[in-house]
Chain A
Amino acid sequence: MFSEQAAPMAQGLLAPPSAEPPTFPRVPVSGYLDCSQPFQLGERGFSRQYAHIYAVRLAGMRPGLERRAQSRWGDDIVLRKLSELQAGEKCCVVGTLFKSMQLQPSILQEISEEHNLVPQPPLPKYIQPSDELMLEDELQRIKLEGAIDVQRLVTGTILAVYGCEQDDGRFLVEDHCFADLPPPLPWNGPSSDRFVLLASGLGLGSVSGEALLSTQLLVDVVTGQLGAEGEQSCAAHITRVILAGNLLSQNTQSRDTINKAKYLTKKMQAASVEAVKMLDEILLQLCTSVPVDVMPGEFDPTNYTLPQQPLHRCMLPLASAYATLHLVTNPYQASLDGVRFLGTSGQNISDIFKYSSMDDYLEILEWTLLAGHISPTAPDTLGCYPFYKTDPFILTECPHVYFCGNAPHFQSKLLQGKEGQRVLLVTVPDFGATQTACLVNLRDLTCQPITFSGFGADSED
């Protein structure tokens, strides 16, 4: 555990000044490889329709799913496309799910004048008992019923169903399966303790300043200013910091400038300008001491659709002077010291949360890993770039650490797969709300939360 061996020297600094205090060298990252090239978009063209992304997704995942189906239901099962279905024949079909939800916000409904509807306010969940599931493949679609949990599944998932077509044209499902964990990556982890700090939702620029001291404490622990000598030497083993999105708070996203008259807003500066300056200073303090990977999030000044492109270097002039600052995409994939990290800033998980009955972020995170796709609801309810050649969100290799940012609280789980996969699932909590970050130990794939607090007038400590 982090800093357990620091305990003996805990009170060391409650003493008169001693001779030259030690400085600890930061443990260097021995192997860093940025594997997020599939998420980096160069030239972007938006003239294509989104049908292509579903087509490549199905084409990409079909072989794996067919193999899975055969291993699960026997090698002799019949694999059919929807156009070849015969009534009453038990077969297996691979296709894309579509869930038709009555409450799903639809832009066409909003602007429909016949209805004269006020746009629906955002709800925490859009599921309803009357939702229906449909399976689509390249040419046709069919309604599903039977042993399949309609509430739990979301649009865009590729799955294989086993059952038969009924006389009324619906498909009665007896069993279904997903792509399951992707093939494992070889393990080359370090043999000594190396830590990676995962934090998300710093929320700079928010109206309340409670989290500011906690943010400063976080920076101080990582840069080795805080703590007694034992703790500082443990902090020197933090080899990297990954900031998973929402560096800016939602308050910086005020859209008043669009609604208000120009003469009222002419002299106003966007709240995000101040927040980015604060971010620059914080990143500078971190970058002088540790390599930092900065992922953009929902409220950060970058593009909205997934994959979000890295923040631009010009916004962070002070910090980007250092080579230790890496501005990376969301989702982000990298290999640190032989351990493969893959994670997002949480938009994919929270979108599935809205359209599924699953409530637990860790459960949803695990489900996306088992479904073999980082973000199945894109592009249906989550903005996505119209890919047409490949779908980069398909999981082809099993990462060692799979995280999502901006979760309501910290959770972690070590998942073991049948083919020897070992994945540490981490939901990184929102720092602005919980003042908690995560420390992942690369040696044994364990994770520990680290909480910061100051004292206030009304708090008990």
Chain B
Amino acid sequence: MADELYLENIDEFVTDQNRVVTYKWLSYTLGVHVNQAKQMLYDYVERKRKENSGAQLHVTYLVAGNLLQNGHVCHKVAVVREDKLEAMKSKLSTVSSVHVYSVQKALLKDSSPLYNTDYDIVKTNLQHCSRFSAIRCAAAVPRTPAEAPPAPAQSPRSQRDPGAAGTLNGHGPPAAKAPPQQHKGIMGMFAAKAAAKAQDTPKEAKAEAKEAPGVSAASSKPPTKNNIMNNFFGKAAMNKLKANSVPEQPKEEKEVVKPSVAVAEPESSPNTVAEKPGKKAESARIQQKDKKSKTKRADRSDDEEERDPENVKKKRKRIKQLQSDSSDDEDVPPSPTLEEERAPSPPPAPAPKAELEPASTEVAAGARKRKRKRVLKSKMFIDEEEGCMGKAG
């Protein structure tokens, strides 16, 4: 029966899995209204204690009410252990609500497990966090895209740029201006080639990873791009960026170009977009790049190649792979966001695909270097671990 089912479930959670079952956790797990969850917990406790008075069951309650404090009537909301329930109730002048907050096997020393349980379950249900609540707000509707000005539309694209912006921007996040300018020049070059090719993006992604030939085309491009970069960067930056720029540019361009629906028109928007979200992931990327500074090209090209195979499959694991091979704690935020952007990228097919073609050739160039640099890369990885300064950005 449905009635008995929840009792069994709660029993399983509490005794078998040894969980701290808060009303909120139960509400999300069973998909019921929060008040029902509270009542279920109460029912479970009552029945369990009736059957087996020695049952190892500890309960925390929520008590709320008015309290006279410092001369004014204060509304107090407190989570208390069962043994302190009556004491708290007697302290309050009027009790406005009492209900079960959580049930668990062990006696809790403090309320942090309660907080952690709630935090975890809410984190996994962020999109529907008010679904089982007792209050519905009619005004809480997501903004329509029209209301929310450029930022959301640009954010998918922007977040795809962080790799580009970060690595190009060898001297740190603040110089976000330079990458956009570079993109303009580079994308201008791509726009010329845009007409030439139009194929599957996924297929191209595959091709990027595996194509060996076509390097010549790639090699001709980097020098010209370097010139463009020279224009934007000062001499000091150039030395640092030279090594980075060549393998970087093609890959970054590919990334940059991918998201933009039409390369020609919103040059400004990807650029501006690149700045903001780019900054956040830029710092992550820059840290990545800085870490690999010993063997600049190798790492980056390796990373790119790591990314490309994933790119082939789902464009989803890309970041995860990146995290696993580069540093222990790559920051997670770029990954979900980047995943989102991967999704929009297939739809805007024609222009990006065109750009992918030339990019793929450059990737192939990197692919060629892969064999040579693999050993270096692993060495560097070890070095990284040793030299790791605690939490990485």
- The answer to whether A and B assemble together is yes
- Is the CB of B130 closer than 8 A to any CB of chain A? yes
Checking A2, A21, A25, A457 against B36 with a beta-carbon cut-off of 8 angstroms, the contacting residue is A21
- Is the CB of A209 closer than 8 A to any CB of chain B? yes
- Is the CB of A31 closer than 8 A to any CB of chain B? no
Checking B24, B138, B141, B290 against A220 with a beta-carbon cut-off of 8 angstroms, the contacting residue is B24
**Cβ of A287: which chain B residues have Cβ within 8 Å of it?**
140
**Cβ of A70: which chain B residues have Cβ within 8 Å of it?**
none
- Is the CB of B265 closer than 8 A to any CB of chain A? no
Contact B94 A7 (CB under 8 A): yes
**Cβ of B108: which chain A residues have Cβ within 8 Å of it?**
455
**Cβ of A4: which chain B residues have Cβ within 8 Å of it?**
66, 94, 96
Contact A25 B94 (CB under 8 A): no
Q: How far is the CA of A223 from the CA of B66 in the complex (A)?
A: 20
Contact A461/B88 with A227-B62, A284-B129 known, Cβ cut-off 8 Å:
yes
Contact B393 A269 (CB under 8 A): yes
- Is the CB of B221 closer than 8 A to any CB of chain A? no
Q: How far is the CA of A2 from the CA of B230 in the complex (A)?
A: 66
Q: Mark B129-163, 1 if CB is under 8 A from A, else 0.
A: 11011111111111100011001100100000000
Contact A229/B35 with A14-B98, A269-B331 known, Cβ cut-off 8 Å:
yes
Contact B99 A454 (CB under 8 A): no
Interface members, chain A 10-33 (any B CB < 8 Å): 10-11, 13-18, 20-26, 28-29
Q: Mark B86-113, 1 if CB is under 8 A from A, else 0.
A: 0110010011111110000000111110
**Cβ of A221: which chain B residues have Cβ within 8 Å of it?**
64, 77
Q: How far is the CA of A448 from the CA of B115 in the complex (A)?
A: 26
Checking A1, A209, A268, A313 against B66 with a beta-carbon cut-off of 8 angstroms, the contacting residue is A1
Q: How far is the CA of A4 from the CA of B64 in the complex (A)?
A: 11
**Cβ of B64: which chain A residues have Cβ within 8 Å of it?**
3, 221, 226-227, 231
Which stretch of B119-127, B208-216, B250-258, B348-356 is in the interface?
Answer: B119-127
Which stretch of A53-61, A118-126, A318-326 is in the interface?
Answer: A318-326
Contact A455 B79 (CB under 8 A): yes
Contact B393 A21 (CB under 8 A): no
**Cβ of A15: which chain B residues have Cβ within 8 Å of it?**
39, 42-43
Contact A450 B75 (CB under 8 A): yes
Checking B60, B73, B77, B91 against A452 with a beta-carbon cut-off of 8 angstroms, the contacting residue is B77
Which stretch of A162-170, A211-219, A400-408 is in the interface?
Answer: A211-219
Interface members, chain A 318-345 (any B CB < 8 Å): 318, 320-324
Checking A13, A321, A455 against B38 with a beta-carbon cut-off of 8 angstroms, the contacting residue is A13
Contact A1 B73 (CB under 8 A): yes
CB distance from A232 to the nearest CB of B (A): 4
Which stretch of B174-182, B189-197, B384-392 is in the interface?
Answer: B384-392
- Is the CB of B76 closer than 8 A to any CB of chain A? yes
Q: How far is the CA of A324 from the CA of B136 in the complex (A)?
A: 13
Interface members, chain A 207-258 (any B CB < 8 Å): 209, 212-213, 216-217, 220-221, 223-232, 234-236
Contact A449 B75 (CB under 8 A): yes
What size tier do the contact residues of chain A reach?
A: 35 or more
Checking B23, B123, B136 against A24 with a beta-carbon cut-off of 8 angstroms, the contacting residue is B136
Interface members, chain A 182-200 (any B CB < 8 Å): none
**Cβ of B129: which chain A residues have Cβ within 8 Å of it?**
223, 284-285, 288
Specify which of B62, B95, B139, B287 lies most central, judged by the most chain A CB atoms within 10 Å of its CB: B139
Checking B91, B97, B331, B392 against A231 with a beta-carbon cut-off of 8 angstroms, the contacting residue is B97
- Is the CB of B373 closer than 8 A to any CB of chain A? no
Contact B140 A324 (CB under 8 A): yes
Q: Mark B50-65, 1 if CB is under 8 A from A, else 0.
A: 0000000000101011
CB distance from B30 to the nearest CB of A (A): 11
Contact A267 B391 (CB under 8 A): yes
Contact B134 A21 (CB under 8 A): yes
- Is the CB of B84 closer than 8 A to any CB of chain A? yes
Checking B91, B110, B130, B151 against A455 with a beta-carbon cut-off of 8 angstroms, the contacting residue is B110
CB distance from A131 to the nearest CB of B (A): 33
Total number of A-B contacts with CB less than 8 angstroms?
268
Checking B38, B79, B96 against A6 with a beta-carbon cut-off of 8 angstroms, the contacting residue is B96
Checking A28, A226, A323 against B143 with a beta-carbon cut-off of 8 angstroms, the contacting residue is A323
Q: How far is the CA of A264 from the CA of B388 in the complex (A)?
A: 10
- Is the CB of B34 closer than 8 A to any CB of chain A? yes
Q: Mark B259-281, 1 if CB is under 8 A from A, else 0.
A: 00000000000000000110010
Checking B139, B148, B331 against A26 with a beta-carbon cut-off of 8 angstroms, the contacting residue is B139
Q: How far is the CA of A286 from the CA of B66 in the complex (A)?
A: 24
Q: How far is the CA of A291 from the CA of B327 in the complex (A)?
A: 40
CB distance from B198 to the nearest CB of A (A): 33
**Cβ of B137: which chain A residues have Cβ within 8 Å of it?**
25-26, 288-290, 324
- Is the CB of A266 closer than 8 A to any CB of chain B? yes
- Is the CB of A42 closer than 8 A to any CB of chain B? no
Closest to B89 in A: A10
Contact A322/B87 with A13-B99, A267-B388 known, Cβ cut-off 8 Å:
no
Closest to B154 in A: A314
Q: Mark A438-460, 1 if CB is under 8 A from B, else 0.
A: 01000000001111111111001
**Cβ of A146: which chain B residues have Cβ within 8 Å of it?**
none
CB distance from A41 to the nearest CB of B (A): 18
Contact A226 B62 (CB under 8 A): yes
**Cβ of A313: which chain B residues have Cβ within 8 Å of it?**
151
Contact A213 B115 (CB under 8 A): yes
Contact A268 B393 (CB under 8 A): yes
Contact B388 A449 (CB under 8 A): no
- Is the CB of B81 closer than 8 A to any CB of chain A? yes
Contact B142 A266 (CB under 8 A): no
Contact A216/B115 with A7-B95, A317-B155 known, Cβ cut-off 8 Å:
yes
- Is the CB of B380 closer than 8 A to any CB of chain A? no
Contact A267 B393 (CB under 8 A): yes
Q: How far is the CA of A321 from the CA of B27 in the complex (A)?
A: 25
Q: Mark A274-311, 1 if CB is under 8 A from B, else 0.
A: 00010001001101111100000000000000000000
Seen from chain A, the residues whose Cβ lies within 8 Å of a Cβ on chain B are: 1-4, 6-7, 9-11, 13-18, 20-26, 28-29, 209, 212-213, 216-217, 220-221, 223-232, 234-236, 264, 266-269, 273, 277, 281, 284-285, 287-291, 313-314, 317-318, 320-324, 412, 436, 439, 448-457, 460-461
**Nearest 7 CB-CB pairs, A to B?**
A224-B135, A454-B111, A228-B97, A13-B99, A26-B137, A21-B35, A224-B134
Show 25 A/B contacts (Cβ-Cβ < 8 Å), sorted by A. Answer: A4-B96, A9-B97, A13-B100, A15-B43, A16-B46, A21-B33, A25-B137, A209-B112, A212-B112, A216-B119, A220-B24, A221-B64, A224-B135, A266-B393, A269-B331, A269-B393, A284-B129, A285-B122, A288-B130, A314-B155, A320-B143, A323-B140, A449-B74, A454-B115, A455-B78
Contacts A21-B33, A217-B79, A323-B147 aside, 6 further interface pairs with beta carbons under 8 A come to A11-B98, A26-B135, A217-B77, A230-B96, A289-B140, A448-B75
